[in-house]
Amino acid sequence: HGWRVWPLMGHIERENSYDRTFALWPVFQLQHNNIERGPENSTKQWSVFPLFTSTRMGTYRGYTILWPFFGWATDPRNDFWSLDAPWPIVRFQRGGKDDVTRSRIWQFFSHLNGDGINMWSVAWPIVQWSTEDYRGYDKDAFYVLPFWRSWTSYVDGGELKGTQLSSWRKLWPLWSEHYEKHRRTTTLLPLNPLWRSEWIDFHWGWL
């Protein structure tokens, strides 16, 4: 149930679900969401948008100033903290249930480690290197754009662990090589300056 005199003021409530109030929408807002999850997992938030927002859920505390540019969040339950100052240029994140690590001062430097990927970048997007852990195989990549691109994938476990599955190298515009399923293809003077594309190679390789 609820009422509103939009955009001056309003209130809406659903039993065991949420309770929300606003004034001079969207500037002043007070919300209590996910009430059915209990005190430790329901979310309480108030904001003077876009100047300041405060969010609480259990031991989690999150704050934004001039959303979305400046923000700070912390949760001691899982050693989580994050900082945007300002987003998206500067961002740091540590801990959390997924244990994801982010460090970024764009475009000078960035690092991401989590969800099976460890990626670094310097002078983005010019220099990038990464290690990815997929189900059953690993992949290493290194790029110095637009001139050099390379990646190699390996078997991740079992008796064949470390066996190369496929690879790709390109020194544009002089040479490229692709290996997969015991087949190796070498191209001189590749025209395509972008990523590997079988469609472009098929239609324009004859040139």
Residue 84: exposed, middle, or buried by beta-carbon count in 10 A (0-12, 13-18, 19+)? buried
Going residue by residue through the chain, which has 207 residues, state the pLDDT in tens, using 9 for 90 and above. 999 999 999 999 999 999 999 999 999 999 999 999 998 999 999 999 999 999 999 999 999 999 999 999 999 999 999 999 999 999 999 998 888 999 999 989 999 998 889 999 999 989 999 999 987 789 999 999 889 999 999 988 777 777 888 999 999 989 999 999 889 989 888 877 766 666 776 777 666
What are phi and psi for residue 204, nearest 5 degrees? -120, -5
Question: How confident is the model at residue 205, as a pLDDT?
Answer: 67
- With helix as H, strand as E and coil as C, how does 141-164 read? EEEECCCEEEEEEEECCCCCCCCE
Helices vs strands, H then E, count in the chain: 1, 19
Quote the pLDDT of residue 160. 73
